[in-house]
Amino acid sequence: MTTATDRRPPARHRAGRTAWRVPPAAPLLAAAWAGGIAVLALWWRDTGAVVGVAGWLTGAGRITGLLCGYMCAVLVALMARVPWVESRVGSDRAARWHASAGRWTIGLLLAHVLLIVLGYAAQAQVGALKELGTIVFDLPDMLKATAGALILLVVGYTSVRAVRRRMRYETWYHLHLLTYAAVFLGFSHQLTVGAEFVAHAPARAAWYTLYIGVACLVLYFRVLTPLRLNLRHRIRVEAAVREAPGVYSVWLRGRRLDRLGARPGQFLRWRFLTRGMWGASHPYSLSALPRDDLMRITVKTLGDHSAAVADLHPGTRVWAEGPYGALTAARRSRRKVLLIAGGTGITPLRTLFETLPAAPGDLTLLYRARTPEELALSEELEAIAAARGARLVYVLNDPDGSRARITADRLRATVPDVERHDVYLCGPRGLSLAVYDALRDAGVPTVRIHHESFEL
């Protein structure tokens, strides 16, 4: 382990006493639960006595159908990349909510189909398969709804972690976009077949409002906002520079880039408009504060897309969306701050290391890498540490190649009062989980461990 430390920071870097906290996710969750309860109220209001097995099966099928329709709207809303949700709640939490909503949607869909078919079959006293055919081919809009259901099932299957890991990201990404088509195909049958809507204009109006509102969110934040950003800033590749083995920085030139509104620690989703790369966008953090005409991202070559970054040619057009992410100074609640980076997790933490207000000794960066050669941006980090009087600690493998682990004891030895720090953590999943456990063992409260992951 080596440490670089020294001079006092300029006055503008000194810490104030104001603490900022991220607004809790509770209001959004409460709103989602309230919507679900309102949907159940639709069934309750329209349902009299439930009689017999057929009645119970059909009633349960209607409930699961209504909830499935509601969850489809929630699912799409979580795909809209609303900046308030992305930057305040956090992109990783929004992604987990989206994944959870997807699992609930698929489960409710399967339950709805099974219960309705069995209920109708019991009522008509026919076989389930025969009744299924009658429902699909004879009821209005059911062919479209069936197509939408099949698409949702395919998307759900490809989102299973074990399946997704075997797919190219671009393939998974484009299949995932079919969720929009599935929801569109399934919408009309809810109003033409659903007993809760057929004779109740207010309920139909509320359902239209829900779906149109969600569609407007998607249109505005996923189409119009990025279009305005890219027309305004006109971003192109300036150069791709090797920083470490398998790590490249991409300098990007554009207009008024300092007005992007990107805060230190945030990322954008990037689509490079060149062969083999334009098909999907990928999240990469800014590794330097945007200037008027230049900004920079730093990427590790892990997959096909990131590996191609090294071969980007100057002048390549870039389509950007964002900024997103909640790994910012807004999460800070203590005077002292510890940053822990692993691999290219240094990217967002480098900008925080440069900008977080801190008095001498109040800011520490631990940077984990296997060898000195793998320390990307090390010269910049050392210059920042020297200019600010901050501490920079490298955690490297031993000369014999033994892995250096960040344990609770090592944390206490390096930062004796670690439990009094806010901690920002960014790195590969395995490292992040291990360091998170070490921080908890060292006495750091969960609410002061700030971490963001791009993984669903």
| pLDDT tens for each residue of 239-254 | 999 999 889 999 999 9
The structure tokens listed for 265 are 């620690």
pLDDT score of 14: 35
Give φ, ψ of 428 to 5 degrees. -55, 155
| DSSP string computed for 195-256 | HHHHT-HHHHHHHHHHHHHHHHHHHIIIIIHHHHHHHHH--EEEEEEEEETTEEEEEEE-SS
- C-alpha 322/C-alpha 260 separation (Å) is 8
Higher pLDDT, residue 389 or 90:
389
Tokens standing for 26? Answer: 């509770």
- List the one residue out of 230, 229, 339, 323 whose CA is nearest residue 283: 323
How far apart CA 423 and CA 314 sit, in angstroms, is: 37
At 14-66, the pLDDT tens digits run 333 333 444 457 778 888 889 899 988 888 877 766 778 988 999 899 999 99
Report whether pLDDT(117) > 50.
yes
Structure tokens at 309: 């970054």
Note the pTM of the prediction, 2 decimals: 0.79
Sheet of 391-395: strands edge to edge? 2-4, 391-395, 363-368, 336-342, 421-426, 449-451
Q: pLDDT tens digits, residue range 285-312?
A: 999 989 999 999 999 887 666 778 888 9
For strand 318-324 and strand 267-272, is the pairing parallel, antiparallel, or unpaired?
Answer: antiparallel
Torsion region of 261: left, alpha or beta (phi above 0 gives left; psi -120 to 50 gives alpha)? left
- pLDDT, residue 126, reads 92
Q: What is the pLDDT of residues 136-169, one digit of tens each?
A: 999 999 999 999 999 999 999 988 888 888 888 7
Residues with Cβ within 8 Å of 304's Cβ and at least 6 positions away in sequence, in order, are: 168, 169, 170, 276
State how far the Cα of 213 lies from the Cα of 246, in Å rounded to an integer. 44
Provide the pLDDT confidence category of residue 13 given band limits of 50, 70 and 90: very low
Phi, psi at residue 395, to the nearest 5°? -110, 105
